[in-house]
Structure 1
Amino acid sequence: MTEVITPPGRFNLPRWHELWEAREVAYRFGQRDVVLRYRQTAIGVAWVLLQPLASAGIFSIVFGSVAKLPSDGVPYFLFSFVSMLAWTLFSGLVSRASNSVVSNQTLVSKVFFPRMLVPLSTVFSVLLDFAVALALGIVLLLIYGVNPGWPILLVPIWTLLVLAFGMGVGLAASALMVKYRDVAYVLPWLLQIGLYATPVAYSLSAVPGRYHWLFLANPMSWLLECFRWSMLGTPVPPAWQIGGSVAAGLGALVFGVLVFQSRERVFADLI
């Protein structure tokens, strides 16, 4: 039987049945990513905990003890750790997805399969890291005696929205990086700026009034507020932030898919 392969249109959505039929490819990519990340490391997956723990410790000293910034009534270390959970999920997915196509250029140029599976497969390792750090976060909630109540049941929803937002950015960046390798240098710089331009290490209430609108224009600020509400029991975000978080996550994902699809057919030529 002969299978006819038609190239994707410029603005067509992907053929979902092809992605589903080739899901084993994504699983293998994800499995390899996890193995390569922790192979020949002395402490293995414990490295996942060091970044949010170290960052939370530094933030609690600098912003909590020295600058005396508010943390919405939550211990500053716990506030920073939970914030880093969401931010690390986003930045880790963007970093790994954006570089995935270029780092697998041999397969992309010589073997036919839905190329979108390459960046999509990075979700496996990112989610594993997040799950380990989230487990520690729950332990910290018990240690500090923080009970957020029923909103903690919404954490999976905010997690999916952060994943959607990060994957949308990652898909677009991975497609652009095939032609413009400058993206590999610009993106880490933008993520580093974003860490401080987003209320991760500090509460949105600590932002001076004249700059408040600027921080509210950042969709990750909305997602972080929702995440902290569910994990820490901070004040309920306004309805527009909750709705905006949903729209931002889904909108970014659709945008990333369209950008990736529009450029996928020239990957083999550019690589």
Structure 2
Amino acid sequence: MIPYMKELFRSRELLYTWTMRDFKVRYSQSILGAAWAIIQPFSLMVVFSIIFSNIIRVPTDGIPYPLFSYVALLPWTFFANSLTFAIPSLVNNMNLVSKIFFPREILPLSSILVCLLDFLISCSIFVLMMIWYRVPIGWTTLLVPVILIIQFVLTYGISLLASAINVFYRDVRFVIPLVLQIWMYLSPIIYPVNLVPEWLQPFYFINPMATIIESYRRVVLYQQLPDWRYLGLAAAVSIVLIIFTYPYFKRAERQFADLI
């Protein structure tokens, strides 16, 4: 795996160029441009707030529901959009893959980096919301980069595996939206973790995104440390995943040009 990462590092200028190209192309003919990065999670937050703070009252331990949901929607939107764009990236760039030699993992990685830029843009609105609701920012917020790195590794590992499989079996593009929809409800986005029965939580947190989202909420809104047991499990799952999927991707890429 180390030789692959060295090769990727040597191609960092290509990765940067491709990422910026993707970012510009995504919003090139859009009236609102990069504002769409904010509109998607913000609109969901508004809908969830109307339903789950007025019609169905979800307990949030004193945190305004818009903040409660938005702090979870930001990383979830980053995760879901990353998979949506990264998984078909090889097939969508078949001309490059079949004719030009370069580390093919640049394509899914650049898609994730573009979504990371969207995530950072959306975070600016969240900061304004924190100020509006007068929720203080504690020192535990400094742990956000640690959680983000774990999420990034998890997302990249899944993207490498699924994008490679998608070259061989195009059914993956139909499966992903369904999986993401189910996965969203299996993660604590619209409800707090304490609604999950205590006996079920060890199984519930096998889902690494459940741990990651709950960790964001704890360190940012409640100024608490994350549950290191479950966050460590999420980190271990993410690392093991990428250790196995990266070599698989590199072995599979030898056949990409013949299949695409």
Shorter-normalised TM-score: what interval? over 0.9
Give the 3-state SS of the residue equivalent to 2:88 in structure 1: helix
Identify the residue that residue 108 of structure 1 maps to in structure 2: 97
Correspondence 1:1-271 to 2 at 5 A: 14-209=3-198, 211-233=200-222, 235-271=224-260
Name the CA shift for 1:63/1:56 in 2 (closer, same or farther; >3 Å): same
Counterpart-to-counterpart distance in 1, 2:183 and 2:97:
31
Matched-pair contact (CA < 8 Å) for 2:140–2:225: no
Counterpart-to-counterpart distance in 2, 1:136 and 1:130:
10
- What amino acid is the match of 1:118? L
Aligned residue pairs: how many? 260
Deviates more, 1:235-244 or 1:122-131: 235-244
Q: 5+ residue gaps in structure 1?
A: 1-11
Deviations 1:46-71 (A, max 9, x none): 11111111111111222232221212
Counterpart-to-counterpart distance in 2, 1:69 and 1:60:
10
Matched-pair contact (CA < 8 Å) for 2:139–2:223: no
Identify the residue that residue 7 of structure 1 maps to in structure 2: none
Q: Normalized against structure 1, the TM-score is what?
A: 0.90
> Between the two proteins, what is the percent identity of the paired residues?
38
Matched-pair contact (CA < 8 Å) for 2:53–2:65: yes
Deviations 1:153-203 (A, max 9, x none): 111111111111111111111000000000010011111111112111111
Query: 1:93 offset after TM fit, Å?
Result: 1.4
Give the 3-state SS of the residue equivalent to 1:121 in structure 2: helix
Counterpart-to-counterpart distance in 1, 2:96 and 2:37:
29
Query: 1:35 offset after TM fit, Å?
Result: 1.1
**With CA pairs under 8 Å and 6+ residues apart, which has the higher RCO, 1 or 2?**
1
Give the root-mean-square deviation of aligned CA atoms: 1.7
Displaced runs of 4+ in structure 1, greater than 6 A? none
Query: 1:75 offset after TM fit, Å?
Result: 0.7
- What amino acid is the match of 1:81? Y
